[in-house]
Amino acid sequence: MASVLQTLSNDLANVVETAGQSIVRVEARRRLSASGVVWSADGIIVTSHHVVEREDDIQIGLSDGGTVSASLVGRDPTTDLAILKTKATDLAPAAWVATDELAVGHLVLALGRPGRTVQATLGVVSALGSNWRTPAGGEIDRYLQTDVVMYPGFSGGPLATAGGQIAGINSSALLRGTSIAIPTATIQSVVESLLTHGKMPRGYLGVGIQPVQLPNALQQELNQSAGLMLMSIEANSPASTAGLLQGDILVSLDDHALQQMEDLQNLLSSDRAGKTVNVRLVRGGQIEQFSVTIGQK
């Protein structure tokens, strides 16, 4: 038994040493440094959006002890990801793995470099689910929850498998009190978009909205208490083109109820840009349905 534990201990230490070559320190906020992961050898770094509080004078601490400056390429607050670019050209990219290789109960390591050396905590995959939408409206390819302890400065650092591959980026900001890792597929999509556009495209309707209470009869029929009244509509916007009118009350988009402003904002995510969706609304006391092609902003 002792030899089995010693072997496991040595293997985990090897994972930390190997993965540590791709983990950097990110100095982009006033007090505590955070962590980041090398995406490509030409200096692209992935980290958490919420740890990048300034967009200039960003410093990156490398695994060899050196420090290089970095600039912000772009960020996506809805998935809590940010991309930095350094002038270093000989970095060690992380070895990424899809979440399909994980199962509930698998051992994982949360790694970080808030100081000069790599730190680690051990845990298990505690929950895996399908794709989900963050409270900020970001589309995550798969729900990945662990029981690892997120020490200060670990955000932006990787979640490593027992085989030494990186399955995601740890975040303490997406769901408060829950250790969530953003999976590889989501990271790749965000990186590609930010490198191409500098920001994440968002869906766009071109309307000004205000929550309003629905009449009692409509509340019972729709099983919801409120909707979103269109206070203004931009000319030549997707809403205008679809025939929506000022005074209409939106009650659902693609069968998702609309009661608060955040409900619509969360549904106008990048994956819906360019798609045609069904919108239910109240006009003159009657429920009507329209097809609207979401624009891109």
**Which residues are known catalytic residues?**
50, 80, 155
Co-location of 164 and 241 in the same domain: no
Pairing status of strand 256-257 against strand 276-283? unpaired
Domain termination site, one of 171, 199, 227: 199
Are residues 277 and 182 both part of a single domain?
A: no
**pTM listed for this prediction:** 0.78
Residues 207 and 194 reside in one and the same domain: no
DSSP reduced 3-state for 26 = strand
**Residue 136: per-residue pLDDT:** 78
> Are residue 39 and residue 168 in the same domain, yes or no?
yes
**Spans in the chain with pLDDT lower than 70:** 1-2
User: How confident is the model over 244-278, as pLDDT tens digits?
Assistant: 999 999 999 999 999 998 888 878 877 788 889 99
Number of domains in the chain: 2
Look at residue 259 and give its three-state secondary structure: coil
Residues 30 and 134 in one domain: yes
Taken in order 128, 151, 173, 27, the sign of the CA dihedral is negative
Question: pLDDT (tens digit, 9 = 90+) per residue, 88-107?
Answer: 888 999 999 998 899 999 99
Clarify whether residues 132 and 23 are in a common domain: yes
Asked which of 164, 199, 234 is the last residue of a domain, the reply is 199
Q: What is the DSSP string of 31-65?
A: S--EEEEEEETTTEEEE-GGG---SSSEEEE-TTS
Domain match, 174 and 241 both:
no
How confident is the model over 153-174, as pLDDT tens digits? Answer: 999 999 999 999 999 999 989 9
Residues 16 and 157 reside in one and the same domain: yes
Q: What was the pLDDT predicted at 1? A: 66
Q: Which of 175, 199, 223 is the last residue of a domain?
A: 199
Q: Same domain for 152 and 233?
A: no
CATH of the domain at 287: 2.30.42.10
CATH number at residue 79: 2.40.10.120
Same domain, 189 and 234: no
Q: Give the residue numbers spanning the domain of 188.
A: 1-199
pLDDT recorded at residue 126: 96
Specify the DSSP class assigned to residue 82: E
Residues 31 and 170 in one domain: yes
Q: Do 110 and 233 belong together in one domain?
A: no
